[in-house]
Amino acid sequence: AKEYADISPEQERFLEAVWPGKVTVVLRTTARTHAEIDADSRGKPSRFVVREGTIGMRVPDDEFLQKILREMGIPLAQTSANVSGMPPARSAEEVRVCFKAIKRSPNILLDGGVRAGDASSVIDLSGLVPLVLREGAFPKARLFELLRDSGFSGFSGL
């Protein structure tokens, strides 16, 4: 994560407590990340999904995904396997149905079998005050407890 985002000691302690796991964290991008994006002549992020100087990152606690990441040897830039606001897709067939409804489809779909569990929690650590953007599998109260333990103060909820 440090290769792509500027991470403070407090943020590092927090990440060590929640990763691997179902917590997506929004962080400020590094100058190097911006340079690689700016170097892309098409004006698109090459390997990154970056918005307004931030990047959302997650380390999954899923054996299937970890195996793919180890084999590839690089991070994956991807969206969730569903349309924003819709329930998480739990199988390849649900992904197909979800994206067919909006007449778009993923570039590639790996069938890892039926997946269980809730969507990840999303927390924005890119600003002065940590902000929970979505409460998911990781309860907000536990996120706040880990933030306090990591040295943060003054949180904001949903």
Share of the chain above pLDDT 70, in %: 82
In 58-156, the DSSP E strands lie at 121-124, 131-134
User: What average pLDDT does the structure give for the chain?
Assistant: 82
Element (H, E) at 71: helix 63-72
Q: What is the pLDDT of residue 37?
A: 54
Which pTM does this prediction carry?
0.80
